[in-house]
Amino acid sequence: MLSVLGPLSSQTKLFASRNKPRGDSFVFRLHYRTTFVFVMGSCLMVTATQYLGDKISCLGDKDALPDTVIETFCFISSTFTLPSTSDGQAGLEVAHKGLGPSTPDTETKYHNYYMWVPYVLFLQAISFYVPHWIWKMVQTDKVNNVLQGLNYLIINQEERKKKEDIMVDYLYYQWGTHTAWAMKYVFCELLNLVNIVLQLVITNQFLGGEFTTYGSRVVDFVNQDPQSRTDPMYEVFPRITKCTFHRYGPSGSIERHDAMCVLSINILNEKIYLTMWFWFLFLLAITILMVIYRAITLFFPAVRSKVILSRAYRYGSHETTDFVSEKCNFGDW
């Protein structure tokens, strides 16, 4: 399993080197590094477990049907539970919660999402990387080119002076031309916000509307009386379900075969989506705060002056930073 996650190790460096020029923010990196690694790693784990291990095990009539037939059929079609039996006491009133005898009029809840989990997770991981990819395409590595290596502490003083003169000349002659470049970055930050909202909606629809309150229900479940509580993880990701297989009998009549299936893959799915619920909400909150901060710096030059002063407190003064902030627009800042 560790070898499967190995290729993602290069993406886990959330905190870039202090001397390395950065053309994006910490929140931006939370999207295309931390979240991308988490979702893609979950995709790889589910794929390895689902297609290299026992994805489903069904208990049926072995004399009538081979296990491989019923298990393959149940996995590629769907399994179901009976909501009317979910409140029954397991082992006394029902064999397992959500299971019981069914008739054509019995309400059934079908579960076929588990076969699509790896594909959905993969597309979600890619979606978190897309804004970063767009930014890489449009920024043309401007930060690195402007700094020319001046971010490194060890550099020849004569060479440093030459590069500083080049940088000052660039800023002087290109003053006022960076607005479009800066707005492209703001656009990519907005894409991050749109994407995290979209992923919350997609995940909720994918899980049949259960994802919105999933995490909060699990927290409530932990604090409830163990004798009367109902595990919401079991409701959203049932571990034991039913499956019905029809075939023609020797006389040509249709025979019905019921099987009870164990979805071991849901043990992993329930933990992944619980972690995802908490992380997505945190990411949404911190992304909204970043967008608000970006809007404030965009419309209030005084704030930009304070930010410059906080970054250059050893070298500048209020008069210098105020003068620079008054003369430059948002893109130059």
The SS3 of residue 321 is: helix
Under the banding of pLDDT at 50, 70 and 90, the label for residue 16 is very low
The residue-averaged pLDDT of 187-210 equals 94
Under the banding of pLDDT at 50, 70 and 90, the label for residue 189 is very high
Lookup: tokens for 185: 């970055």
Residue with tokens 């037939």: 69
- Condensed to tens digits (0 to 9), the pLDDT of residues 211-232 reads 999 988 888 887 776 555 677 7
Q: What's the confidence (pLDDT) of residue 56? A: 79
- Closest of 211, 268, 206 to residue 45, by C-alpha: 268
List CB contacts of 144: < 8 A, sequence separation 6 or more: 21, 23
- Condensed to tens digits (0 to 9), the pLDDT of residues 279-322 reads 999 999 999 999 999 999 888 888 887 887 777 766 666 677 67
Q: What's the confidence (pLDDT) of residue 17? A: 47
Q: What is the pTM of this model?
A: 0.79
Length of the chain: 333
Residue with tokens 């749109």: 194
Per DSSP, what are the bridge partners of residue 174? none
Lowest-pLDDT choice from 14-23, 143-152, 200-209: 14-23
Q: What's the confidence (pLDDT) of residue 87? A: 65
- Pair 134, 191: CB distance under 8 Å: yes
